[in-house]
Structure 1
Amino acid sequence: MWILVLTAVWCVLYSLMSFAWMLGAPGFPFGAGDSRGREMGSLLASAHPVPTGLALGCGAVVAAAAAVWALRRPGRAPGVVLLVCAAALLAVVPDVRLLQNLAYSFGGYFGLVDWPVLNQVLCVLGAGLLARSALVLLRPATGDAARWLTIGRWATLVAVLAPLPYAIQRAAWNLGIPLGVSQQFVDDLAADVTAKGLPAIAAWGLVIPDLVGVLLTLGLVMRWGEVFPRWVPWLGGRPVPVWLAVVPASVVSTAVTIAGLVIIRFAVADGSVSSTAAPGLLWLPWGVALGVATYAYAERRRASVSGRLAQRGR
């Protein structure tokens, strides 16, 4: 139950920080403390330290209490509380900048990372701990590997197809083709890469990860996602550690889901969807499907291990 201890520690520390903002401590990462919040779709772009700090602090205290409760008496009730807190934290605090900076990081660019972005990363980490703790408490003791494989296959199919329209459109822009936009828009994108001091190849940092991600997503239902292929030096034939697939897939799933929610909010507020944002409407199903496929992969691996151990015990 070490995950519950880590969860409780995170909650206590973040509650103290939130209450400090409420009392006037510097570093409030929302509202006036976040100059890019409104344009990036932050729900807290107009937030004030007192009510926001109080709400975040009280929410963290509730989650900490649920984690301690689960340590003393594990059960479904504290698990539900932790899961609700994780969902609320992910729905309210992060915005599209998580996915934006994740994509830019593949090109070695971190110029847009500031304290509001780091606070979002901190909150996503906390939400991950909350969700992980909840799943430990809520999932059944045994699982059906065949059933999780079926679920994983369907979810993987969606997670593979959904990002392709964005990758195709972005690739066209990088090649100078104004797919769904004006030529001026394409020229401005190229100028932005130059202004950031990045090489031209950096523009593909928003396309190549999509395509690599599609390939790696297939590993969630393929044999090579469980056992390293024989041609892999030193690792060939060995089992793939579950965390090696689950952690990166969970990070991408979370970032894409949040970005998808922001794009849908913008579309609802504007009453229309621009051609540049249209492929982004698939990000929400992409992120959710990838999350389901990742969870199915983890549960299938767990069920397979449990089945082997049960057979050995006979």
Structure 2
Amino acid sequence: MTVSAEIRKDGSFNRQVNRFTTPFGERSGELPVQAGKYRLIWCAACPWAHRAVIVRGLLGLEHAIGLGTVSPLRPRIGRVDWEFAEDADGVDPVLGVRYMSELYANADPGYTGRPTVPAMIDIETRTVANNDYFKLTNDLETAWAPFHKQGAPDLYPERLRSAIDALNEVVFHEVNNGVYKCGFAQSQEAYEQAYDTLFARLDDLDDRLSTRRFLHGDFITDSDVRLYTTLARFDAAYYSGFRTNRNLLREFTHLWGYARDLYQTQGFGDTTDFDAIKRHYFLSITIHPDKPEVAILPKGPDTATWDTPHGRERLSNRDGKFLGGGGEG
């Protein structure tokens, strides 16, 4: 399967549904929460995978969940896949596989969708246990609580969950996936509709952040992680690569300072690889793997601006970004 198979007749992009969605937990039928049992596979270029890695780090789950990395460049093998090309001999050192598709085939020999990241892999069986990027961070924040580090932030506080879930749903459809709806659109009408929806929501979020430091108040929550991974890729990739070019992120009054505030927080900027992001979106083969085009890697933008002062502290009533287990809705 290629991404072009996810294009509707009207030219709009319709992202495939996740196949392995069994949640983690202690109830019957749920995936067991067990340290050392799983390996999280990610790509530094992928926003969906990036947010799982951010949460894993913020919560101190590195000791409980291993991490494997696929190359940001798609392999030229006639199908959409991910490859462990940056590991020795091009093979994941723990799982012993070259392509993500092998792990999907182990889990379901009849699987015909795109092999995606992030994916939680059962190390013993070398099968995909869960690839539900939409719910994975919530599972890490709740079901995996017994393995959180001491003093770990509460990114999904119970009293804010309904507000977080509601905002996450909107941000997913209109921003996280909204940029892809622009980039993968194959009709002018579908592209312009996605473009208008995306920037209307970004304008709304910019206004929301004019009076609060983070999306739900004084503290970083799961919603901030999800929005950040799209914002981090906006100027470097989406603006030109996906034609989301009404304006740059750094031209938003409040979103730009907000994004820098997060970038300068441990767990965010140190897991943001602008080189991998640009290599994936400009040199990789995504939509038409059978028709590679001449690809040029852009020199810009200047990423040093991410380290400039953001001044967002003035909007917070607390000194820390994580104290108190979430902010006000």
* TM-score normalised by length of structure 2: 0.28
Q: Which has the higher contact order (CA 8 A, sep 6+)?
A: 2
Higher strand share: 2
More helix by share: 1
Query: What's the TM-score once normalised by structure 1's chain length?
Result: 0.29
Larger Rg: 1
